[in-house]
Amino acid sequence: MKMFMKSLLCAAKGITLSCALTILVSQGCNRSAGQESAPPSSDNANANHQPVPESNGSADRVIPLPADMVFIKGGSFLMGTEDGHSYEGPIHEVTVKSFWIDRYEVTVARFAEFVQATGYKTEAERWGWSGVFDIESGEWKKVDGADWRHPDGPDSTASPDEPVTQVSWNDAAAYARWAGKRLPTEAEWEYAARGGLAGKKYAWGDEIPSNGKRLNWWQGVFPEKDTGEDGYKGRAPVGSYPPNGYGIHDITGNVWEWCADWFDEAYYERGERTDPRGPEQGGERLLRGGSWLCSDNFCQGYRVAARSHTPPDSGLNNLGFRCVRDG
Protein backbone atom coordinates (compact mmCIF):
# COMPACT_ATOMS: atom_id res chain seq x y z
CA MET A 1 0.00 0.00 0.00
CA LYS A 2 1.20 3.46 -0.79
CA MET A 3 2.29 5.16 2.39
CA PHE A 4 3.59 8.40 3.67
CA MET A 5 4.93 8.68 7.14
CA LYS A 6 4.18 10.95 9.98
CA SER A 7 7.84 10.84 10.81
CA LEU A 8 8.28 12.95 7.70
CA LEU A 9 6.57 15.93 9.21
CA CYS A 10 9.70 17.78 8.41
CA ALA A 11 11.00 15.18 6.07
CA ALA A 12 10.27 14.33 3.71
CA LYS A 13 15.32 17.23 -10.64
CA GLY A 14 17.78 19.78 -14.38
CA ILE A 15 18.83 18.02 -17.17
CA THR A 16 18.79 19.11 -20.64
CA LEU A 17 17.28 17.00 -23.23
CA SER A 18 20.35 17.10 -25.42
CA CYS A 19 22.57 15.98 -22.57
CA ALA A 20 20.07 13.35 -21.58
CA LEU A 21 20.36 11.75 -24.95
CA THR A 22 23.45 10.18 -23.67
CA ILE A 23 25.53 8.68 -26.33
CA LEU A 24 25.29 11.43 -28.88
CA VAL A 25 27.83 14.35 -29.07
CA SER A 26 28.61 17.58 -27.35
CA GLN A 27 30.76 19.92 -25.49
CA GLY A 28 28.63 22.90 -24.68
CA CYS A 29 27.18 21.03 -21.71
CA ASN A 30 30.27 21.44 -19.60
CA ARG A 31 30.64 23.89 -16.75
CA SER A 32 33.45 23.96 -14.30
CA ALA A 33 32.99 23.31 -10.61
CA GLY A 34 32.04 26.34 -8.61
CA GLN A 35 30.95 28.37 -11.60
CA GLU A 36 27.80 30.32 -10.95
CA SER A 37 24.92 30.06 -13.34
CA ALA A 38 21.28 30.96 -13.49
CA PRO A 39 18.82 28.34 -12.27
CA PRO A 40 17.90 25.95 -15.03
CA SER A 41 15.00 26.55 -17.34
CA SER A 42 14.00 24.97 -20.58
CA ASP A 43 15.26 28.00 -22.47
CA ASN A 44 18.69 28.46 -20.97
CA ALA A 45 19.16 24.72 -20.81
CA ASN A 46 18.80 24.39 -24.52
CA ALA A 47 21.13 27.33 -25.06
CA ASN A 48 23.80 25.51 -23.10
CA HIS A 49 23.63 22.34 -25.11
CA GLN A 50 24.86 22.88 -28.59
CA PRO A 51 26.23 19.58 -29.84
CA VAL A 52 29.93 19.74 -30.52
CA PRO A 53 31.95 17.06 -32.31
CA GLU A 54 34.06 14.78 -30.21
CA SER A 55 37.65 15.96 -29.97
CA ASN A 56 39.13 12.85 -31.54
CA GLY A 57 37.51 13.77 -34.78
CA SER A 58 34.88 11.07 -34.79
CA ALA A 59 32.01 12.75 -36.55
CA ASP A 60 29.27 10.31 -35.63
CA ARG A 61 29.44 10.41 -31.84
CA VAL A 62 28.49 12.97 -29.30
CA ILE A 63 30.03 13.20 -25.86
CA PRO A 64 27.44 14.32 -23.34
CA LEU A 65 28.92 16.69 -20.83
CA PRO A 66 26.94 17.72 -17.78
CA ALA A 67 25.18 21.03 -17.72
CA ASP A 68 24.02 22.64 -14.51
CA MET A 69 26.13 20.09 -12.70
CA VAL A 70 29.10 20.50 -10.39
CA PHE A 71 32.16 18.28 -10.61
CA ILE A 72 33.05 16.78 -7.25
CA LYS A 73 36.57 15.45 -7.07
CA GLY A 74 36.70 12.15 -5.21
CA GLY A 75 38.27 11.84 -1.81
CA SER A 76 37.83 10.74 1.78
CA PHE A 77 35.78 12.36 4.51
CA LEU A 78 34.32 11.72 7.93
CA MET A 79 30.70 10.74 7.41
CA GLY A 80 27.98 10.91 10.03
CA THR A 81 27.72 12.52 13.42
CA GLU A 82 27.64 11.48 17.03
CA ASP A 83 25.60 14.54 17.93
CA GLY A 84 22.31 13.49 16.39
CA HIS A 85 20.12 10.40 16.17
CA SER A 86 21.80 7.11 17.04
CA TYR A 87 21.50 5.99 13.42
CA GLU A 88 23.49 9.04 12.24
CA GLY A 89 26.66 7.59 13.73
CA PRO A 90 29.25 6.45 14.36
CA ILE A 91 31.44 8.89 12.52
CA HIS A 92 33.41 6.82 10.03
CA GLU A 93 35.83 7.54 7.20
CA VAL A 94 34.40 7.00 3.74
CA THR A 95 36.02 7.35 0.32
CA VAL A 96 34.07 8.21 -2.81
CA LYS A 97 35.08 8.41 -6.46
CA SER A 98 34.75 11.60 -8.47
CA PHE A 99 31.26 12.40 -9.68
CA TRP A 100 29.04 15.16 -11.01
CA ILE A 101 26.04 16.40 -9.06
CA ASP A 102 23.15 18.62 -10.10
CA ARG A 103 23.71 22.20 -9.00
CA TYR A 104 19.98 22.51 -8.29
CA GLU A 105 17.18 20.24 -7.21
CA VAL A 106 15.30 18.93 -10.27
CA THR A 107 12.66 21.49 -11.11
CA VAL A 108 9.05 21.14 -12.15
CA ALA A 109 10.08 22.46 -15.60
CA ARG A 110 12.70 19.76 -16.07
CA PHE A 111 10.40 17.02 -14.85
CA ALA A 112 7.80 18.28 -17.32
CA GLU A 113 10.34 17.77 -20.15
CA PHE A 114 10.72 14.17 -19.02
CA VAL A 115 6.97 13.62 -18.90
CA GLN A 116 6.46 15.28 -22.27
CA ALA A 117 9.15 13.13 -23.87
CA THR A 118 8.08 9.83 -22.34
CA GLY A 119 4.43 10.07 -21.30
CA TYR A 120 5.48 8.92 -17.84
CA LYS A 121 2.85 8.76 -15.12
CA THR A 122 4.03 9.18 -11.56
CA GLU A 123 2.92 6.86 -8.82
CA ALA A 124 0.84 9.62 -7.23
CA GLU A 125 -0.97 10.13 -10.55
CA ARG A 126 -1.64 6.41 -10.85
CA TRP A 127 -2.85 6.15 -7.27
CA GLY A 128 -4.90 9.33 -7.51
CA TRP A 129 -3.65 10.82 -4.27
CA SER A 130 -0.54 11.80 -2.36
CA GLY A 131 0.65 13.17 0.96
CA VAL A 132 0.23 16.87 1.72
CA PHE A 133 1.15 18.65 4.92
CA ASP A 134 -1.82 20.67 6.08
CA ILE A 135 -0.57 23.93 7.53
CA GLU A 136 -3.86 24.64 9.33
CA SER A 137 -4.06 21.37 11.24
CA GLY A 138 -0.33 20.73 11.44
CA GLU A 139 -0.80 17.20 10.14
CA TRP A 140 -0.08 15.14 7.06
CA LYS A 141 -3.15 14.31 5.00
CA LYS A 142 -3.95 11.99 2.15
CA VAL A 143 -5.14 14.36 -0.57
CA ASP A 144 -6.94 13.19 -3.70
CA GLY A 145 -5.60 14.83 -6.83
CA ALA A 146 -2.26 15.84 -5.31
CA ASP A 147 0.56 15.15 -7.77
CA TRP A 148 3.69 16.79 -9.17
CA ARG A 149 1.68 19.38 -11.10
CA HIS A 150 -0.53 20.05 -8.07
CA PRO A 151 1.77 19.39 -5.12
CA ASP A 152 -0.41 20.92 -2.41
CA GLY A 153 -3.69 19.52 -3.71
CA PRO A 154 -5.80 19.69 -6.88
CA ASP A 155 -6.35 23.44 -6.60
CA SER A 156 -2.62 24.18 -6.36
CA THR A 157 -0.23 24.69 -9.25
CA ALA A 158 3.47 23.94 -9.14
CA SER A 159 5.74 26.77 -10.28
CA PRO A 160 8.13 25.77 -13.08
CA ASP A 161 11.18 26.90 -11.12
CA GLU A 162 10.39 25.16 -7.85
CA PRO A 163 11.73 21.71 -7.05
CA VAL A 164 9.46 18.98 -8.28
CA THR A 165 7.74 17.14 -5.44
CA GLN A 166 5.12 14.40 -5.12
CA VAL A 167 7.56 12.11 -6.89
CA SER A 168 8.31 8.68 -5.48
CA TRP A 169 11.76 7.09 -5.40
CA ASN A 170 10.64 5.04 -8.38
CA ASP A 171 9.59 8.19 -10.25
CA ALA A 172 12.89 9.90 -9.42
CA ALA A 173 14.88 6.88 -10.55
CA ALA A 174 12.91 6.77 -13.80
CA TYR A 175 13.71 10.45 -14.45
CA ALA A 176 17.37 9.86 -13.67
CA ARG A 177 17.58 6.96 -16.12
CA TRP A 178 15.96 9.06 -18.82
CA ALA A 179 18.41 11.86 -18.11
CA GLY A 180 21.44 9.58 -18.34
CA LYS A 181 22.08 10.12 -14.65
CA ARG A 182 21.33 8.32 -11.40
CA LEU A 183 20.31 9.11 -7.86
CA PRO A 184 23.22 9.90 -5.53
CA THR A 185 24.40 7.40 -3.00
CA GLU A 186 24.01 8.62 0.53
CA ALA A 187 27.79 8.90 0.82
CA GLU A 188 28.04 10.98 -2.36
CA TRP A 189 25.25 13.21 -1.14
CA GLU A 190 26.88 13.91 2.22
CA TYR A 191 30.34 14.41 0.68
CA ALA A 192 28.88 16.99 -1.71
CA ALA A 193 26.72 18.61 0.96
CA ARG A 194 29.68 19.24 3.24
CA GLY A 195 31.14 21.42 0.51
CA GLY A 196 34.73 20.76 1.48
CA LEU A 197 34.20 21.58 5.16
CA ALA A 198 35.22 18.94 7.71
CA GLY A 199 33.13 18.16 10.77
CA LYS A 200 30.66 21.01 10.39
CA LYS A 201 27.03 20.82 11.36
CA TYR A 202 25.64 22.61 8.32
CA ALA A 203 26.63 22.93 4.67
CA TRP A 204 28.23 26.31 5.38
CA GLY A 205 29.56 25.94 8.93
CA ASP A 206 28.24 25.56 12.45
CA GLU A 207 25.78 28.44 12.77
CA ILE A 208 22.58 29.46 11.03
CA PRO A 209 22.60 33.23 10.37
CA SER A 210 20.31 35.12 12.72
CA ASN A 211 18.10 36.20 9.81
CA GLY A 212 17.84 32.57 8.69
CA LYS A 213 18.57 33.45 5.06
CA ARG A 214 20.91 30.60 4.38
CA LEU A 215 18.34 27.97 3.46
CA ASN A 216 14.62 27.45 3.14
CA TRP A 217 13.43 26.03 6.44
CA TRP A 218 10.66 26.48 9.02
CA GLN A 219 11.23 29.36 11.36
CA GLY A 220 9.21 29.51 14.54
CA VAL A 221 7.75 26.66 16.50
CA PHE A 222 6.74 23.71 14.34
CA PRO A 223 3.95 23.07 13.51
CA GLU A 224 2.26 26.08 15.10
CA LYS A 225 3.76 28.91 13.07
CA ASP A 226 6.27 29.47 10.30
CA THR A 227 7.34 33.09 10.39
CA GLY A 228 8.85 32.84 6.90
CA GLU A 229 11.74 35.07 7.90
CA ASP A 230 13.92 33.33 5.34
CA GLY A 231 11.65 34.71 2.61
CA TYR A 232 9.49 31.68 1.92
CA LYS A 233 6.68 29.75 3.58
CA GLY A 234 6.59 26.57 1.58
CA ARG A 235 8.85 25.62 -1.33
CA ALA A 236 11.20 28.23 -2.81
CA PRO A 237 12.42 28.49 -6.41
CA VAL A 238 15.68 26.60 -6.77
CA GLY A 239 18.75 28.76 -6.33
CA SER A 240 17.08 31.24 -3.98
CA TYR A 241 19.77 30.82 -1.35
CA PRO A 242 23.58 30.94 -1.46
CA PRO A 243 25.40 27.79 -2.60
CA ASN A 244 27.71 25.76 -0.42
CA GLY A 245 31.46 25.62 -0.89
CA TYR A 246 31.08 23.40 -3.94
CA GLY A 247 28.60 25.72 -5.64
CA ILE A 248 25.58 23.53 -4.92
CA HIS A 249 22.30 25.27 -4.11
CA ASP A 250 19.62 24.10 -1.68
CA ILE A 251 21.53 20.97 -0.78
CA THR A 252 19.84 21.39 2.58
CA GLY A 253 16.41 22.85 3.13
CA ASN A 254 13.67 23.45 0.55
CA VAL A 255 12.82 19.77 -0.09
CA TRP A 256 14.14 16.45 1.11
CA GLU A 257 16.10 14.61 -1.56
CA TRP A 258 15.87 10.93 -2.44
CA CYS A 259 19.12 8.98 -2.30
CA ALA A 260 19.75 5.67 -4.05
CA ASP A 261 20.36 3.66 -0.90
CA TRP A 262 18.03 1.50 1.11
CA PHE A 263 17.82 2.63 4.72
CA ASP A 264 19.25 0.53 7.54
CA GLU A 265 19.84 2.31 10.82
CA ALA A 266 22.86 0.11 11.60
CA TYR A 267 24.51 0.44 8.17
CA TYR A 268 27.23 2.84 9.31
CA GLU A 269 28.54 0.21 11.70
CA ARG A 270 29.08 -2.47 9.10
CA GLY A 271 28.84 -0.85 5.67
CA GLU A 272 31.50 -0.52 3.01
CA ARG A 273 34.01 2.27 3.47
CA THR A 274 34.81 2.78 -0.23
CA ASP A 275 31.95 3.99 -2.39
CA PRO A 276 29.28 2.55 -0.10
CA ARG A 277 26.00 1.89 -1.85
CA GLY A 278 23.85 0.98 1.12
CA PRO A 279 22.24 -2.28 2.14
CA GLU A 280 21.44 -4.90 -0.49
CA GLN A 281 17.78 -4.68 0.34
CA GLY A 282 15.32 -2.90 2.55
CA GLY A 283 11.84 -1.51 2.92
CA GLU A 284 12.59 2.20 2.90
CA ARG A 285 14.88 4.52 0.94
CA LEU A 286 17.17 7.19 2.32
CA LEU A 287 16.25 10.86 2.32
CA ARG A 288 18.71 13.68 2.91
CA GLY A 289 18.78 17.43 3.34
CA GLY A 290 15.64 18.38 5.23
CA SER A 291 12.90 20.59 3.89
CA TRP A 292 10.85 23.76 4.33
CA LEU A 293 9.08 21.90 7.14
CA CYS A 294 12.22 21.37 9.20
CA SER A 295 12.53 23.52 12.26
CA ASP A 296 14.90 23.96 15.12
CA ASN A 297 12.39 22.46 17.57
CA PHE A 298 11.52 19.42 15.53
CA CYS A 299 13.72 17.48 13.12
CA GLN A 300 16.65 19.72 12.17
CA GLY A 301 16.85 17.67 9.00
CA TYR A 302 18.98 20.36 7.38
CA ARG A 303 22.06 19.18 9.24
CA VAL A 304 24.49 17.66 6.72
CA ALA A 305 24.58 14.39 8.68
CA ALA A 306 20.80 14.16 9.20
CA ARG A 307 19.13 11.06 7.79
CA SER A 308 15.50 10.22 7.14
CA HIS A 309 13.71 7.43 5.35
CA THR A 310 10.40 6.49 3.80
CA PRO A 311 8.95 3.75 1.56
CA PRO A 312 9.97 4.15 -2.09
CA ASP A 313 6.42 4.74 -3.30
CA SER A 314 5.92 7.76 -1.02
CA GLY A 315 4.95 11.09 -2.46
CA LEU A 316 5.04 14.26 -0.34
CA ASN A 317 4.90 17.99 -0.98
CA ASN A 318 8.31 18.45 0.63
CA LEU A 319 10.18 15.59 -1.06
CA GLY A 320 12.10 15.88 -4.34
CA PHE A 321 15.55 14.92 -5.63
CA ARG A 322 18.65 15.81 -7.58
CA CYS A 323 20.81 13.54 -9.73
CA VAL A 324 24.45 12.63 -10.15
CA ARG A 325 26.55 10.94 -12.80
CA ASP A 326 29.93 9.26 -12.71
CA GLY A 327 32.95 11.53 -12.90
Whole-angstrom distance, CA of residue 158 vs CA of residue 57? 44
The minimum distance between CB 162 and Ca ion, in angstroms, equals: 13
- Interface residues toward Ca ion, by CB under 5 A: 216, 230, 232, 292
CB of 320 to Ca ion, least distance (A): 15
Nearer to Ca ion, 220 or 245 (CB): 220
Angle at CA of residue 149, ends 130 and 17, nearest 5° = 120
Q: Whole-number minimum distance, CB 131 to Ca ion, in Å?
A: 19
Q: Which is nearer to Ca ion, 188 or 230 (CB)?
A: 230
Q: Which is nearer to Ca ion, 263 or 302 (CB)?
A: 302
**What single-letter DSSP state applies at residue 17?**
H
Tell me whether residue 66 or residue 237 sits nearer to Ca ion (CB atom).
237
Q: At closest approach, how far in Å is the CB of 232 from Ca ion?
A: 4
Q: Is beta strand 129-134 parallel, antiparallel or unpaired with respect to 99-102? A: unpaired
- C-beta contacts of 197-203 below 8 A and 24+ residues apart: 197/245, 198/77, 198/78, 199/78, 200/304, 201/81, 201/83, 201/303, 201/304, 201/305, 202/252, 202/302, 202/303, 202/304, 203/244, 203/245, 203/248, 203/251, 203/252, 203/304
Question: Is the CB of 20 or the CB of 215 nearer to Ca ion?
Answer: 215
212 φ/ψ sector (left φ>0, alpha ψ -120 to 50, else beta): left
CB of 293 to Ca ion, least distance (A): 9
